[in-house]
Amino acid sequence: MDLSVFFAGTAGSVPTPKRGLPAILLRAGGERILFDCGEGTQHQLLRSVGLPDLDAIFITHLHLDHWLGLPGMIKTFDMRDREAPLEIFGPPGFLATFQQVVRPIIGRTKYRLDVSDLDPHEEIGYDGFVIQGFPVKHRVEAFGYAFVEDDRPGRFDAQRAQALGVTPGPDFGRLQRGETVGDVTPEQVMGEGRLGRRIVYSGDTMPCQTTEVYAAGADVLIHEATFCEDEKTRARETGHSTARQAAQLALDAKVKLLALTHLSTRYFPRDIRDEARATFEPTVVPRDFDTIEIPFPERGEPHLVKHELPAAPS
């Protein structure tokens, strides 16, 4: 399954000319799942990869910069004659806010709109993976989200199977499906199972143990870094994290790659990056429209693919 994360918006609280409000698009096989939907998200997508027919949207919390893009996107889908249902999830209290604020604005839709509150640690299942919601520490009730891919079977040893007398062909497939062929068992020809890939998105949060637990061994941790250490007190007062704190959490959780988002206009991106890398070197600070590709571990490490800016006119 192809797996990547596209950064549609990486600013914190207010947009800038170069950074939109929080929105991250997960592309997992044929599924398209959006985490947060700040104001202008549909425009950000239209300017870059196009507006996909999303399968689901997960909102981290009820601060406006994380969901105000929903009404426009929902109506755009309606005007495009969308037929497939759209699921929208959020932390406790999200459904009531949606019904009181968003529903009167958008009216009825021709397609089914399923909006739900998630319980802490609840899982939503998809083909080959789940999305898990977990509580984090912010000024309001807030969730982070974890993409957890199903574990994969171990590698099939074809040479070993033939040495044991198994004929190449359908019997190879039976062994890989866990069936015994003659006297040969799958355990004799299959390697150890391989863990599925894991991506964790913190949303807005102070450093918290729950995030570290869900991020343990993750391929990618996408963590907010609204402040640097010079504003550590301010970060605590507002329920946010510093770049160093996010890096320390990534180090403790033993993640492969840390991506910092929710950037404040008070810092240059290199300030955030350099502070984090002093603690956790494999750190990137994506720009809007950058992508992180997450291949299977045997095919390489997760890596940032920078968006190529259009060439200046000659």
Q: How high is the pLDDT of residue 184?
A: 87
Asked if residue 143 and residue 76 are part of one domain, the reply reads yes
Task: Indicate which residue of 65, 219, 288, 290 is catalytic.
Answer: 65
Where the chain has pLDDT below 70, the residues are 309-314
Query: Which residue in the block uniquely carries the two structure tokens 């799958």?
Result: 186
Measured between alpha carbons, how far is 185 from 179 in angstroms, rounded to an integer? 7
- Secondary structure of 149-210 in HEC code, one letter for each residue: ECCECCCECHHHHHHCCCCCCHHHHHHHCCCCECCECHHHHECCCECCCEEEECCCCECCHH
147 found inside a domain: yes
Final residue of a structural domain among 167, 189, 211? 189
Do 83 and 168 have their domain in common? no
How many domains is the chain partitioned into structurally?
Answer: 2
Position 176 scores a pLDDT of 86
Q: Assess whether 53 carries a catalytic annotation.
A: no
* pLDDT value, residue 312: 46
Asked if residue 115 and residue 264 are part of one domain, the reply reads: yes
Residues 165 and 266 in one domain: no
**Domain annotation covers residue 312:** no
Token pair of 40 as six digits: 């202008």
For 145-193, write each residue's pLDDT tens digit.
999 999 988 888 888 889 888 889 898 888 888 899 988 888 888 888 7
Is residue 184 domain-shared with residue 123, that is, in the same domain? no
Task: Tell me, yes or no, whether 311 lies in a domain.
Answer: no
Point out the annotated binding site: 61, 63, 65-66, 138, 204, 262
Decide: pTM greater than 0.95.
Answer: no
Structural domain that includes position 184: 158-189
